[in-house]
Structure 1
Amino acid sequence: MTPRSLPVLALLLAAAAACGSPAPAPAAPPPSAAPAVTAAPVESAPAATAWVMPDLVGANLQDAQNAVQSLTDFGIAVTTSTDATGAGRNQVLDANWTVCAQNIAPGETITADSRIDFAAVKLEEAC
């Protein structure tokens, strides 16, 4: 071996020794002096909003639907309708139908969970 090869040999031996031994574990962080975190108080759920069902019999079906949406500020955004004649026709253009009956009587309390259905006939038909 030559004197110049000794430093290279020392480096190789050091590298081999480092590969065979596990790396030291990182030191744990020092304990924090931050205050303990506490949970915010739980507020009770707000009371359900309720409204009074208006009398919409005789109204245009579209206007009746709009009235419910307006009254509830879209808390009830969807109402359904059925053909009051029993023929099973779909109310495709709601403005062409008149409300003959409603499943929730005027003056009753309605909530967002209420399912409102209007029985309707075409404008030229009698209820």
Structure 2
Amino acid sequence: MRRRDTITACLAAALLTAGCAAPGTPPGAPATVTVTASGPAGPDPDPPVESTPERAPSTAELITVPDVAGMNHQKAQDTMQAAGLFNLREVDGTGQGRMLVWDRNWVQVGQDPPAGTRVPPGTVVTLTAVKYTD
């Protein structure tokens, strides 16, 4: 909470607990307090954050997605990371929702985005795999 908001809230609470009421208000009636913000009470500890406009990455910043079809899942992960793609999502290709716990027991059967696609760093790459025993 900003400092002036805290001060205003404390002042309003003090007025309410002191029993101050507007003229003509019957005794015991709840008091109504209207608070109007005037300028800042000092330097703003929470200055507004300035955002920079989003810009499209240049072609020099794009990464070509490697082809990992048929690779051992661990090797596929290593290949993606070596290319600069670290945001990897793993999916069980059988649709059973199993977690790919022991990466070396799985083989790649799909990927999204497809191999050869140029993507910015930070793009989520989905690696779809099935167990060698499936």
**TM-score tier after normalising by the smaller chain length:** 0.5 to 0.7
Q: Give the Å deviation of 1:77.
A: 2.2
Aligned residues: 78
TM-score, normalised via structure 1 length: 0.56
Structure 2 counterpart of 1:116, one-letter code: V
Alignment match, 2:61: 49
Structure 2, unaligned runs of 5 or more: 1-54
Given that 2:87 and 2:122 are in contact with CA atoms closer than 8 Å, whether structure 1 keeps it comes out as no
Cα RMSD of the aligned pairs, angstroms, is 1.9
What is the percent sequence identity of the aligned residues? 31
Which structure has more RCO (C-alpha within 8 Å, separation ≥ 6)? Answer: 1
Runs of 4+ in structure 1 displaced over 6 angstroms?
A: none
Alignment match, 2:117: 108
**Take 2:94 and 2:100, find their aligned partners in 1: how far apart are those partners?**
12
Structure 1, unaligned runs of 5 or more: 1-44
> Larger C-alpha radius of gyration, 1 or 2?
1
1:4-59 residue CA offsets vs partner (Å, 9 max, x unmatched): xxxxxxxxxxxxxxxxxxxxxxxxxxxxxxxxxxxxxxxxx995721111111101
**Take 1:56 and 1:62, find their aligned partners in 2: how far apart are those partners?**
10
TM-score, normalised via structure 2 length: 0.53
1:97 aligns with one of 92, 103, 106: 106
